[in-house]
Structure formats: structure tokens, C-alpha cells
Amino acid sequence: MNDVTQPRRPRSLRLRRLGIDTYQEAVIYMHRDCYVCRSEGFDAQARIQVEHSHRSIIATLNVITTDLLALDEVGLSEAAWRLLGAQEGDQVVLSHPAPVESLSHVRAKVYGKRLDAAAMGVIIQDIVAGRYSDVHLSAFITACSKDRLDRQEMVALTQAMIEGGERLDWGRTPVMDKHSVGGLPGNRTTLLVVPIVAAYGLTIPKTSSRAITSPAGTADTMETVAPVDLDIADIRRVVEREGGCIAWGGALRLSPADDILIRVERSLDLDSEGQLIASVLSKKAAAGSTHVVLDMPVGPTAKVRTPEAAETLSDHLVEVGRAVGLEVRVILTDGSQPVGRRIGPALEARDVLSVLRGEEDAPRDLRERALLLAGHVLELSSRVPPGKGQILAQEILDDGRAWRKFQAICEAQGGMREPLRAPYTHVVTASRAGRIVRMDNRRLARVAKLAGAPNAPAAGLELHTRVGTIVEKGQPLFTVHAEAPGELAYALAYVETNPNILQMEEPT
Amino acid sequence: MNDVTQPRRPRSLRLRRLGIDTYQEAVIYMHRDCYVCRSEGFDAQARIQVEHSHRSIIATLNVITTDLLALDEVGLSEAAWRLLGAQEGDQVVLSHPAPVESLSHVRAKVYGKRLDAAAMGVIIQDIVAGRYSDVHLSAFITACSKDRLDRQEMVALTQAMIEGGERLDWGRTPVMDKHSVGGLPGNRTTLLVVPIVAAYGLTIPKTSSRAITSPAGTADTMETVAPVDLDIADIRRVVEREGGCIAWGGALRLSPADDILIRVERSLDLDSEGQLIASVLSKKAAAGSTHVVLDMPVGPTAKVRTPEAAETLSDHLVEVGRAVGLEVRVILTDGSQPVGRRIGPALEARDVLSVLRGEEDAPRDLRERALLLAGHVLELSSRVPPGKGQILAQEILDDGRAWRKFQAICEAQGGMREPLRAPYTHVVTASRAGRIVRMDNRRLARVAKLAGAPNAPAAGLELHTRVGTIVEKGQPLFTVHAEAPGELAYALAYVETNPNILQMEEPT
């Protein structure tokens, strides 16, 4: 064809920060009358390739019809700024993206084909690079749900997720780890297991998550007593000195695909054996662990509901773990009720500290659970004979070594502090006499969140009764803690309209 | 529990129009420090129930971290404004939505269970009400993809989609309709079939779509000669007077679930027999049709690729059609190349007008295709004996009745006009001699879109050669049409960098 000598218009536009947080989704905002938008035929919801110096991402277009943006400006969602590493005022070049080739593998899986390691690899690479929209992520998760991944596919997915991010190497073995599958409220055993195991002289570099839908994650709770936002160099320094750490893993890019997939899985609430296994094991392997004890609570409202389901899942975890270089031991525990007495970051930390300090009224269930798990970690290391781990763990806790190690770890992470106490509290009392027959964990968690947890770390609630207790009219049931009077009022309004949070029967 | 007498804070906030077009997704924008956001524990991506007088929607939260919004203001995406029917400055009340119960049916389908009519009904109701996020829609589509819906499920889905919107009733039978499954570029037979069939005295109230990813939809093309944005009363008036219409169906709420699902399906590019069938048939039944001729192009790059696939699909269409009260006839046609000579709304209209006016150079393929389909529509009505339809259609076209009926329909729809001609054109010529061996339809469509189609109705391109033609160096290949010099330049820049849009071989 002939040469065309028409002037070419640049497709470069100036970046403007609108400050729109879409969580993880890369969104680009462009004015409807912007010439790039018009001439490229971009419509709302189009996927657009955004290039900025050496990086390039794919973002979903939202079209601005007001003067929020000038015609030569584009905005980005906060997630897109992060992915692109751009600054306000920088120029970006926009184009139609090449088709995302790995989607053909997703379609193949939807149609019932098996995926090999290479296919899983490119899918996870594209997910980590932000090339999948929510629609694509959901199709992948749906196609892999329930038992649709066989053992080899689970291994391939786990391996791909490990390789999709950073990987720590501690240059030694064993490197111990523990994890709870589908956490129970208040189940803060990590803050006890790590100091016990590290005090014994083993290496246990623990990375934890923040709360996503719960009132407190392990990282949120730890943060009320010490800094947790450590980079990889910090973690190395702490672990070299103390043998263990309890850090927030979110910024370390360990299995970043997991963080992306888990949000979509939550939104679908689909059971997926393969995804669960890949999620847990990829994080552990990426953190450089070699030996992992998994706490698997089993109960009618827990993630794992029957002993049979627990057995199948344990088998897969052990075998897939072996294939990616992890020695895995699964411990089935009671998943029928919450652990400890307090809900919320600082409140849960107080439960933990009371166990570490050996206080009279320390919650016994939390202590026993932690000793059971710590015992298994000790035994799994092969440094402690089978059957001796739990007694050893108890000695380390009771003679104060665990408490000293916990303080040392906190100091190494940046300094220990006492968890804050909330300035506003309100005691909710029984409106009549009766026996507590059931606690609605979901609603208790909701009260703690309305009171401000986990963003307000001192917020949450403290139970004064347990299931089975007989209470008098006017007797305290629980105390709501808040950092602001508005949040307290808001949580109490919810309590008022939900009288069955603690379900009572007439005493017989 | 005791009475709580703390003051309760309202969760009501003031609506502010930001003018953000997310296409169909309901998004709510809220400041990070807004007390509702904080006390409810809403994070980016949370699903939020938004109540306004008597309506309530579920929207996805995007959190604003700048002063785009005040603390007591919330923004909505354009789609959310429409769903809610709200005005700037109105108050809305926000809360956590109740769980979307129908998602349990989606999960059941993902796990391989069959869905009955009741389950399909509530799923479609929730989709139409905007209660499904993209993640949920994608899971539903994935679970129903390929051949995962059996005949009964297809009927249930089609029926649910019909009942999910408005339904026209013409109080007579037959009411004729035609539709192309997976359109070919330039396949504007509707603008010929409708006047032929209406001129014969049959009722054919045709509703069409606008382009979504192509340079022109039937409604876009018709709009260059007459208004198409008719409401139901307009359509009734036109059809009562002229027997037929060619209107845009987008605002009539006929099977609105289809419009929502089709966007997500496109994004996944998944084959789904059941969805395709429900999509086509629900639109026709909702429009009040009783007899439908379906044009099914078959070819290596068409939606339906083999005669076997065409046969299975035809069977389903006929049987599911019967179950929802439609008499369906499927016509397999050649899907190997585009139809007519021009691409773009006004340009395609000129092809149609030249056929209607019986002009010498009218594209023969377009004419023949339209006569074939019109013949089948006439026969399916039972007013014309089998085998006589096509000849009758030809008579009606050749003696000018179809042309007069077309003009009358245009007048009834608001007045006929000649399609605009673009002020800017550029002839692309052959850079060397050779034989045209292949045309890249996808890239030709892209050139037309870059030149401004369909938003600029006169934009597009006109082919001067066909596959098999031998051209000299400098001979015109095609002309690009544009309404603005910038768009012309932009399309030509693309032509320059894509020399193989028309693929040539040395003449032998």
C-alpha cells in the first residue's frame, strides 16, 4: 500500500491523581471527548494498555463525562499507580492491548481440559502482571473450583504461584512455620507458638496477613505490641538475631497471585480444594519455610466441616507440599467455638500477653491450643522426639523463656509496647435471667467491626460469659470497646436491634 | 439484653454527580474518612446497599482519598444513577446488603447440579436488579458455558430472561421476525427484509442493537436514514400504520438480563450454547414475535464453524423456541466473507439504498442474501406456499414496493433522510501490482472504527476491490471516510503500519 504522509497524532496523555481506591483493580479514567478515547473507539469497560517508560499495564476504562478531567488528562486508580510506578504529571501512551494469550488456557480449563505446568505458569504470570479483569479471574477460579484440579494440577498451580513472586532463602534447614486453615475468631496461637519455638533455638520466620473480613488478623494483633511492617532486610536481621519474627507479609510480594485470587474467591464463596492448597503452601514455600504445621479446625461452621473432608484435604496438603519441597504436618483441632475471650487487635493481644505472663485468668483454651501446635512444630523439626514436644513447649512457656523471647522479638522488630486500651467502653448486661446456650460468632465479629476494629486497634469486645453459663438479670454479658464515641454508639445501635447475639434460655 | 440509649447516627449521605461512566457496573464513591465508611468498616470493593426513596441497589465501593468528595457526600457511577433513579443532592442510606440468596444456585451449578425454573428465575431477577458483581456474573456464565445447560435448563433460562423485562403483545398472529446469529460485517439484510415482508402485508416489528464491538450495528445504520430511538408507544404507532419498523431495542427493557450477560460473555469469549439460545430467543419472544427466521452464517471464522455444530444449534433453537411459544426456522448461510462493499453506518446504508432503488452497481451478495431470508420469512408465515417465497420477495423488491414501504416506515419513524457523506476521504492505493488473496476483516473493521465509526456515522471505509482481483501499482484499494481530519489521520496511520490489511501476491 502507499505511503501515508498525514500528520500522526500522539496518543500520549498526562497523568492526574484522582485518588480513587478500587482495591486491586487497575482502572483508567479518561474524558469522553478526549481524542484518544474517540479515535481509538474506547468505550467504558474497554481494556486499555497503558505504557509508562518501561512498564506497561492493562486497565479497565471508566469514561468521565464531567470536568473532573481535562481532555488531555487521564486518571488512574490507586492500584494502577502502584502497578505502573508512575508520578503525577507523567506522560502515558495508550493503545489497544494485545489479546491475553493465557486466557485460552482458562477457556480450555472451563471446557474440562487439564492444565500442565507451562499453562499454569503463564496464567499466574498474567494475573500477577494485572492482565486479568475480575471477569477473567472469576472464570479461572470457577473452572478450578471444588475438586476440578487433580494432584498434578495442584502442584503446578502451587509452583506457579511460588514463582510468581519473591522467594526467601534462609540457607539452612529446618525452617519452621505454622498456619491455621480458615481461622477461628481469637485464634492467635501464632503469637505464642513463634516465641516458644524460637526460644528452643529453631528458626521460625513467620509472616502473617491483616484482617480482610474479620475484626483482627494476626498482623493487626501483633502490631499493637510491636511494628510488623518490615521489609525483607528487616526480617532477616530480626530472624538472624532472635530465630523468629511475626511480620506482616503483605508488602513482601510472597505469592502475590494469592492476594489477587483470594479476594475474588471470597466474593464467590466457592469451595476450592486446589486453590486453598496452593494458597497456603505457596505462601509458606515463598517465605523459605521447609517444615510446616497446619492447624485445621474442624466443626459445623468451620471451613472444614467433617473428619472425612479433613482427611482428603490433609492428604493433598502433605503430598503437594512434598512436591514443592515442604514437609507438612496437619493437626485437626476443635473448630466449634472461638478461642480466648477478647475480639479486636489490642484486646486479642491482651489475651496473648496474659498467657505469656502466666496470669491467673489467662484464657486456658488459647494456651492449650498453642502448646499443642508448638509441640508439633518442635517434633516436626526432628530435634525433639515424638510425644515430647508438648511437654517441652509447656516448660518453655511456664519458665518464662517464651515471654522473654517474645519481648526480644518485639524489641528486634522496633520496640515493644503495651496494647492500647480503648477510651470508650459500654457494658452490655442481661435484660433477663437465663442460660447462655449459643453465641453467634458472626454477629460478635460484626459488633467488634462496627466499634472500629481492626482500623481502630483498641476497638472490639470482651466476653464476660461463656456458653453454658447461667446469668442473672443485669449481669454483664460483654463490654464493647471503641476509640470514638460515634463508633461506640454505632456498635451499640446494632446490639440493640440484634438481641440474639448471645442466645439465652430460661434456666430450668 | 439491656436497652441502649446512646444517640444513633444516621447513615444518610448526600448524592453528588461525578459523571463516571462504568458502562453497566453500579459503583459508589465514598471518602475514606466518611464516618459511614469508617463505622461500617466498608473497604474498597465492598458491596454496599444504597437506598433512595423506594428503590434500592447494590453497588461496589471505590474509596476516594482526595477532596473529590466531601465527607458527607457520595458519588455514583452513571449506571447506578440510572438504576436508582436519583437526582443530585438527594439523600441515600447505606448499609451492608443482605446476602444475595440466588448465588447459592450459581454455586450449585458450578458444582455440577441442574437448575430448575425457579432457580433460574431468581438468578435472572437478581441480575436484572444489579445485585451481581462482575465476579458473580462471570461465575454464572462460566458454569453455564459450552454444553453445560441441558434442554430444560435452556428453556428455563430463556423463560426467566423473557420474564425479567418488558414484553410486547401485538394481539395477533403471526408476528414475524428475523435475526442473524453472530453477524458478518456489512450483513444489513434487516433493512431489506423488513420492508419486503411488511409490503406483503405481514407484521414485522423489528428491534435491533447498536454496535458493541463492530463499526456499525443495524440500529446505527438505520439511524443514518431515520430516527430509531422509539419508545413502545412510537413502535406501536409505526407498526399499526406500516406493518413493520426498524427500531433500536436498547431502551425498551426487552430481556435486560441479556444486555448484562452479553458484555461479560464477550469479555470471556467463551462458547456457550445455552446462553446464545436464551439470548436470541428471549429478545424475540419479549418483542412479541411468534415466527422467527434465523440467519446462521457458517464458516471457518464465523461464530458457527461447521455444519455439524450448526445442526445441533439449530435443533436446540427450534425446540427451545417451541417451548417458549416461538416458531423458529434456521437458515444456514455462507459465513466465509463480509457482505456488501461498505463498512460504517452511513456507508452501509448506502449499500442498502442502492439495493432498494435497484441501482446498477448495487452489491449483489447483499441483495441475494436478503431475498433468501425474506423468502423464508414469507413462507414461515404460512401465507406463502413453500418454495414460492424467494420469487415473491424478488417481485416485491424489483417492482418498487419494498422501496416505497421502506420510505413509508422511515417517515412513520420520524422522517427519512439521505445518509450523510463524510467531508474527509483518502484513497489508499496499491504500492505494487499483485492479486488480492485475502482480506483481514478484523483489521478492516478496525480502520473503520479508528476513522470514527460508529460514533461518527459517516465514517468508515469503502472497498474498491474484492478477493481475487488483480490490481496495478497505484490502483485504488479502498477509501477511508472520516468526519474530522484528526480521525482520518489516525486511521491512516494505522493503515500505514499494517500493510497486510489486504494481502497481495505477485500476479502469476
Structural domain for A28, as ranges: 12-95
Distance from C-alpha of A16 to C-alpha of A88, rounded to nearest angstrom: 5
Asked whether residue B443 falls in the same domain as residue B393, the answer is: no
Strands B476-482 and B460-463: antiparallel
pLDDT mean over A409-421? 97
Measured between beta carbons, which residues in chain A are less than 8 angstroms from residue B29?
20
Q: Report pLDDT for A482.
A: 94
Q: DSSP character for A91?
A: E
Which residue, A294, A333, A297, is CA-closest to A316?
A294
| pLDDT level of residue A1 (50, 70, 90 thresholds) | very low
Contact A186, A340 (CB under 8 A): yes
- Residues ≥6 apart with Cβ < 8 Å to A364: none
Q: Report pLDDT for A14.
A: 93
Least CB–CB distance from A44: residue in B21, B68, B136: B21
Residue with cell 419479549: B286
A234 within a domain of the structure (yes/no): yes
| Range of weakest confidence among A58-67, A394-403, A405-414, A485-494 | A485-494
Asked whether residue B219 falls in the same domain as residue B356, the answer is: yes
| pLDDT level of residue B2 (50, 70, 90 thresholds) | very low
Residue of B nearest to A433 (CA): B1
Measured between beta carbons, which residues in chain A are less than 8 angstroms from residue B21?
32, 44, 62-65
B375 within a domain of the structure (yes/no): yes
Measured between beta carbons, which residues in chain A are less than 8 angstroms from residue B491?
39
Q: Report pLDDT for B11.
A: 65
Catalytic residues of B, by residue number, are: 271
Distance from C-alpha of A339 to C-alpha of A185, rounded to nearest angstrom: 6
For chain A, state the CA radius of gyration: 25
pLDDT of residue B299 exceeding 90, the answer is no
User: What CATH number does residue A487 fall under?
Assistant: 3.90.1170.30
Which pTM value belongs to this model? 0.88
B213 within a domain of the structure (yes/no): yes
User: What CATH number does residue B62 fall under?
Assistant: 2.40.40.20
Asked whether residue B322 falls in the same domain as residue B385, the answer is: yes
Q: Report pLDDT for B6.
A: 41
Count chain A–chain B contacts defined by CB atoms under 8 A. 229
Distance from C-alpha of A494 to C-alpha of A443, rounded to nearest angstrom: 9
Q: Report pLDDT for B479.
A: 97
Interface mutation vs chain A, best among B490, B495, B498, most A CBs within 10 Å: B490
Contact B30, B36 (CB under 8 A): yes
* Contact state of A135 with B133 under an 8 Å Cβ cutoff: no
A258 within a domain of the structure (yes/no): no
Q: Kindly report the nearest CA distance between residue A277 and chain B, in angstroms.
A: 18
Contact A339, A185 (CB under 8 A): yes
Interface mutation vs chain B, best among A36, A40, A45, A78, most B CBs within 10 Å: A45
Least CB–CB distance from A4: residue in B9, B25, B492: B492
Residue B407, burial from CB neighbour count under 10 angstroms (0-12, 13-18, 19+): middle
B81-B85-B86 Cα angle (round to 5): 70
3-class DSSP state for residue A250? coil
| Range of weakest confidence among A75-84, A134-143, B50-59, B265-274 | B265-274
- Residues ≥6 apart with Cβ < 8 Å to B478: B427, B428, B444, B461, B462, B463, B464, B465, B502
Distance from C-alpha of B472 to C-alpha of B434, rounded to nearest angstrom: 7
Distance from C-alpha of B480 to C-alpha of B424, rounded to nearest angstrom: 8
Q: What pLDDT digit, counting tens, does each position of A258-317 carry?
A: 989 988 888 888 878 999 999 999 999 999 999 999 999 998 767 788 999 999 999 999
A264 within a domain of the structure (yes/no): no
Contact A167, A286 (CB under 8 A): yes
* Contact state of A270 with B3 under an 8 Å Cβ cutoff: no
Least CB–CB distance from B134: residue in A9, A20, A134: A134
Last residue of some domain: B95, B110, B143? B95
Interface mutation vs chain B, best among A3, A6, A439, A463, most B CBs within 10 Å: A6
Q: What pLDDT digit, counting tens, does each position of B181-208 carry?
A: 866 777 899 999 999 999 999 999 999 9
> Grid coordinates standing for A321?
507440599
Residue with cell 502507499: A2
Least CB–CB distance from A45: residue in B66, B133, B263: B263
Contact A18, A70 (CB under 8 A): no
3-class DSSP state for residue B188? coil
Q: What pLDDT digit, counting tens, does each position of A362-388 carry?
A: 999 999 999 999 999 999 999 999 999
Distance from C-alpha of B57 to C-alpha of B47, rounded to nearest angstrom: 10
pLDDT of residue B508 exceeding 70, the answer is no
- Residues ≥6 apart with Cβ < 8 Å to B300: B336
Asked whether residue A331 falls in the same domain as residue A462, the answer is: no
B391 within a domain of the structure (yes/no): yes
Measured between beta carbons, which residues in chain B are less than 8 angstroms from residue A489?
6-9
Residue of B nearest to A263 (CA): B45
| Sign of the dihedral through C-alpha B76, B78, B82, B86 | positive
3-class DSSP state for residue B49? strand
Q: What pLDDT digit, counting tens, does each position of B426-480 carry?
A: 999 999 999 998 887 778 888 998 898 988 999 999 999 888 889 999 999 999 9
pLDDT of residue B336 exceeding 80, the answer is no
Q: Kindly report the nearest CA distance between residue B19 and chain A, in angstroms.
A: 5
pLDDT mean over A59-74? 92
| pLDDT level of residue B263 (50, 70, 90 thresholds) | confident
| DSSP letter for each residue of A418-434 | PPP--SEEEEEE-SS-E
Residue of B nearest to A102 (CA): B268
User: What CATH number does residue A301 fall under?
Assistant: 3.40.1030.10
Measured between beta carbons, which residues in chain A are less than 8 angstroms from residue B139?
138-139, 141-142, 268, 270
Q: Report pLDDT for A412.
A: 98
Residue with cell 502482571: A129
Least CB–CB distance from A23: residue in B45, B107, B489: B45
pLDDT of residue B307 exceeding 60, the answer is yes
Measured between beta carbons, which residues in chain A are less than 8 angstroms from residue B134?
133-135, 138
B352 within a domain of the structure (yes/no): yes
Distance from C-alpha of A384 to C-alpha of A398, rounded to nearest angstrom: 18
| pLDDT level of residue A10 (50, 70, 90 thresholds) | low
pLDDT of residue B39 exceeding 80, the answer is no
* Contact state of A428 with B6 under an 8 Å Cβ cutoff: no
Strands A327-334 and A291-298: parallel
Asked whether residue A245 falls in the same domain as residue A317, the answer is: yes
Backbone angles phi, psi at A41, to 5 degrees: 70, 30
Q: Report pLDDT for B211.
A: 81
Last residue of some domain: A413, A433, A451? A413
Residue with cell 473529590: B68
A165 within a domain of the structure (yes/no): no
pLDDT of residue A4 exceeding 60, the answer is no
Distance from C-alpha of B188 to C-alpha of A332, rounded to nearest angstrom: 66
Q: DSSP character for A154?
A: H
Q: Please state, as a whole number, how many other Cβ atoms lie within 10 Å of the Cβ of residue A33.
A: 11
> Grid coordinates standing for A117?
505446568
Asked whether residue A454 falls in the same domain as residue A390, the answer is: no
3-class DSSP state for residue B379? helix
* Contact state of A2 with B429 under an 8 Å Cβ cutoff: yes
* Contact state of A64 with B17 under an 8 Å Cβ cutoff: no
> Grid coordinates standing for A392?
517441652
Distance from C-alpha of A251 to C-alpha of A231, rounded to nearest angstrom: 8
Please give the tally of structural domains in chain B. Answer: 3
Asked whether residue B457 falls in the same domain as residue B317, the answer is: no
Give Cα B252 distance to the centre of its chain: 13
Identity of the residue numbered A504: M
Identity of the residue numbered B223: E
* Contact state of A110 with B270 under an 8 Å Cβ cutoff: yes
pLDDT of residue A8 exceeding 50, the answer is no
A231-A237-A239 Cα angle (round to 5): 100
Contact B488, B426 (CB under 8 A): yes
Q: Which long-range contacts (CB under 8 A, 24 or more apart) does B415-418 make?
A: B415/B226, B415/B227, B416/B225, B416/B226, B417/B224, B417/B225, B417/B226, B418/B225
Asked whether residue A441 falls in the same domain as residue A299, the answer is: no
Last residue of some domain: A75, A95, A115? A95
Strands B91-95 and B12-21: antiparallel
Measured between beta carbons, which residues in chain A are less than 8 angstroms from residue B343?
none
Asked whether residue B406 falls in the same domain as residue B496, the answer is: no
* Contact state of A6 with B492 under an 8 Å Cβ cutoff: yes
Q: What pLDDT digit, counting tens, does each position of B61-78 carry?
A: 999 999 999 999 999 999
> Grid coordinates standing for B88?
443530585
pLDDT mean over A125-153? 94
| pLDDT level of residue A342 (50, 70, 90 thresholds) | very high
Interface mutation vs chain A, best among B16, B29, B45, B74, most A CBs within 10 Å: B45
Strands B91-95 and B47-52: antiparallel
pLDDT of residue A41 exceeding 80, the answer is no
Regarding predicted confidence, which is higher, B377 or A334? B377
Interface mutation vs chain A, best among B12, B39, B73, most A CBs within 10 Å: B39
Contact B489, B429 (CB under 8 A): no
Measured between beta carbons, which residues in chain A are less than 8 angstroms from residue B429?
1-2
Q: In whole numbers, what is the pLDDT of chain B averaged over residues? A: 91
Asked whether residue A313 falls in the same domain as residue A449, the answer is: no
Asked whether residue A198 falls in the same domain as residue A322, the answer is: yes
Regarding predicted confidence, which is higher, A486 or B369? B369
Residue of B nearest to A483 (CA): B39
Identity of the residue numbered B425: T
Contact B77, B20 (CB under 8 A): yes
Catalytic residues of A, by residue number, are: 271
Contact B6, A488 (CB under 8 A): yes
Q: Report pLDDT for A508.
A: 61
Measured between beta carbons, which residues in chain B are less than 8 angstroms from residue A428?
1-2, 4
pLDDT of residue A9 exceeding 60, the answer is no
A426-A429-A435 Cα angle (round to 5): 145
Least CB–CB distance from A39: residue in B25, B107, B487: B487
Q: What pLDDT digit, counting tens, does each position of A164-212 carry?
A: 999 999 999 999 999 998 667 778 999 999 999 999 999 999 999 888 7
pLDDT-above-70 percentage for chain A: 96
pLDDT mean over B34-44? 77
* Contact state of A495 with B40 under an 8 Å Cβ cutoff: no
Asked whether residue A406 falls in the same domain as residue A439, the answer is: no
Distance from C-alpha of B303 to C-alpha of B273, rounded to nearest angstrom: 11
Which residues pair with residue B262 across a beta bridge? none
Least CB–CB distance from A138: residue in B4, B139, B263: B139
Give Cα B185 distance to the centre of its chain: 14
